[in-house]
Amino acid sequence: MNNVSILILSESLTGQLLDEYFTGSSEYSSKLISLDHFQELEKNQDFSNTILLVDASSAGVIDCLENECGNKDLIPLFRSSALFNAVKNSNEEQLAIKCGFKGIFYFDEVIKNFKREIDYLIDGGIRVNKKLLFDIMHSTKLEEDKTYEEIQSEMLTNRENEILNEVRKGLTNKEIAYQMFISEATVKRHMSNIFEKIGIHDRRKVIKEFIGTKM
């Protein structure tokens, strides 16, 4: 994780403090940007090793997400992304999940180890209200006529999608590890993240219900 960069979209004191926090770390590089700067980012840039942190309290951010203004579709291109200074039980949570954010941090939340939370997101973890996530998944499937396989592809990282596709073929963790030249422990870690994201913890049920493959 030595080359991970943190892009902080914020104009608040919290954003400045986060920037100082990550700037003082040897593991990350950090940059504080405005909403205008975010709008100017190019879609052909490589964000695969960048974490995007967006300040919900900054002027115009929520309006931007709600009104689908320019560059909102950049969010899924980042290695991971999180909304901070969010308000619980608000429209912000739904907007964040629908836009592809993998984490939500609330303004009144006490976080003892923010670095650990970011590392969790970097490793493919998801830090949002699970019930809300599944409700949105279900409504998206109904409203946009998407299959669970399409929703799966949007929720999971590229690596997790690759592993889940191998599971779909009926391969065991050991066989997947051999096929992908990774350790079995790494496969198990990815499977744990997959189970958490989709809310299903049975391998056969994942194949049958989430991917849509008949057993």
pLDDT tens digits for 164-209? 888 888 889 999 999 999 999 999 988 888 887 776 777 887 766 5
Looking at the structure, tell me whether residues 118 and 28 fall in a common domain. Answer: yes
pLDDT tens digits for 81-98? 999 999 888 888 888 887
3-state secondary structure the chain: CCCEEEEEECCCHHHHHHHHHHHCCCCEEEEEECHHHHHCCCCCCCCCCEEEEEECCCCCHHHHHHCCCCCHHHHHHCCEEEEEEECCCCHHHHHHHHHCCCEEEECCCCCCCHHHHHHHHHCCCCECCHHHHHHHHHHHHHHHCCCHHHHHHHHCCHHHHHHHHHHHCCCCHHHHHHHHCCCHHHHHHHHHHHHHHHCCCCHHHHHHHHCCCCC
Supply the CATH number for residue 143's domain: 1.10.10.10
Domain ranges, residue 194? 132-210
Looking at the structure, tell me whether residues 17 and 84 fall in a common domain. Answer: yes
Report if residue 215 sits inside a domain: no
pTM, two decimals, is 0.67
